[in-house]
Amino acid sequence: MSDLLAGPIADRHAALGATFAEFGGWNMPVSYAGTVAEHTAVRENVGIFDVSHLGKALVSGPGAADFVNRTLSNDLGKIGPGKAQYTLCCNESGGVVDDLIAYLVSADEVFLVPNAANTATVVGLLAAAAPEGVSVTDRHRDHGVFAVQGPKAPDVLSAVGLPTDMEYMAFADADLATASGSVPVRVCRTGYTGERGYELIPRWADSGAVFDTVLGAVTEHGGQPAGLGARDTLRTEMGYALHGHELGPDISPVQARVGWAVGWKKPEFFGRERLSTEKSEGPVRRLYGLKALGRGVPRADCAVLAGPGGETIGRCTSGTFSPSLKQGIALALIATDSGVGVGDEVVVDVRGRDLTCEVITPPFVAPHV
């Protein structure tokens, strides 16, 4: 794994006994005490995730926000400075190059958090389209990112003196007192688990001190560090899309049920013409949730059949065992001309064994954001 990138606090993960795996070109902690225990901690108490592998980019200069609004899918004009927005960078065929969070700092500054493996591509596309005076710079190694998630997340942040009383998707810049001194941290009330939570963005060099300080409060409130294993089970229960699974260059936001992140009334953004056509004509496939009705766990890339021995009508994009429901669940793209809809039963081919599943509209569990 010597060719993999390391985050700013890899030594701390190792000291905590984490197991590691490759994700987006980075060597990331998958679990510490076990995925189910970490998942449960987030649903019932609080957990802290290191997601510093996520990309960071800065768009700055006169009219930077207007430029971002002409390129990315969501309508940045609907929010004001101090708010963040989920948005998409699409290609001209309507597929998703990446999904990301845009932090609107001012009319002349937008901070972007794309996915790790797609950062360079997003930066390149925006830089190529940027007008004179607007710069797009890759800041991947300038900042760490930590997610504090769970019902006790506000208590944890309050205990270390960080702000918590903000609207969903709002952010604030604050100073955190650590053993190494006071350091600046951007705090945004968002996350990827379906629980109330926050994402903290410190400087890369300050990440260790920030993690130590916040982890201490997490532990005091009955929580624990959580890895990418729990992050995946938590987001799958919520039906949240993951790029490379539910989203991709050949999967549109209309197909993936994230059309709510498209500013349909905007005159301009990447992929607008094709997406508008697909929206009016209807997609050829659509994302659904699948609940296993028997023993078994559907997995990504498993075929979805109309019935036992029936025709293939789709494929699973993600699949896992749900610690909350104690059953197998999956997200799947299913052909719209199959006639299959919510409440119907389908069969998932799990390594040659039929697993009957109920079709639902995600999420699988109630959100508490």
Q: Same domain for 61 and 118?
A: yes
Q: In the prediction, which pLDDT does 21 show?
A: 94
Q: Same domain for 157 and 290?
A: no
Residue-wise pLDDT tens digits, 332-353: 999 999 999 999 999 999 999 9
A 10 A CB-CB count for 44 gives 14
pLDDT > 90 in the chain, percent: 99
Query: Are the C-beta atoms of 169 and 163 separated by less than 8 Å?
Result: no
Which domain does 79 fall in, by range?
Answer: 53-142+252-281
Residue-wise pLDDT tens digits, 256-274: 999 999 999 999 999 999 9
Q: In the prediction, which pLDDT does 76 show?
A: 98
Residue-wise pLDDT tens digits, 28-71: 999 999 999 999 999 999 999 999 999 999 999 999 999 999 99
Q: In the prediction, which pLDDT does 3 show?
A: 85
Residue 294 pLDDT grade (very low, low, confident, very high; cuts 50, 70, 90): very high
Residue 1 pLDDT grade (very low, low, confident, very high; cuts 50, 70, 90): very low
Average pLDDT value over all residues in the chain? 97
| CATH number of the domain encompassing residue 297 | 2.40.30.110
In a domain, 302, yes or no: yes
| CATH number of the domain encompassing residue 59 | 3.30.70.1400
Q: In the prediction, which pLDDT does 2 show?
A: 63
Q: Same domain for 272 and 221?
A: no
pLDDT > 70 in the chain, percent: 99
Q: Same domain for 324 and 362?
A: yes
Mean pLDDT in residue range 86-113? 98
| CATH number of the domain encompassing residue 226 | 3.30.1360.120
In a domain, 199, yes or no: no
Q: Same domain for 309 and 366?
A: yes
In whole angstroms, give the CA distance from residue 43 to residue 87: 26
Q: Same domain for 150 and 138?
A: no
Residue-wise pLDDT tens digits, 221-257: 999 999 999 999 999 999 999 999 999 999 999 999 9
In a domain, 198, yes or no: no
In a domain, 243, yes or no: no
Sign of CA dihedral 48, 50, 54, 56: positive
In whole angstroms, give the CA distance from residue 243 to residue 130: 24
Q: What total of structural domains would you count in the chain?
A: 3
Q: Same domain for 232 and 150?
A: yes
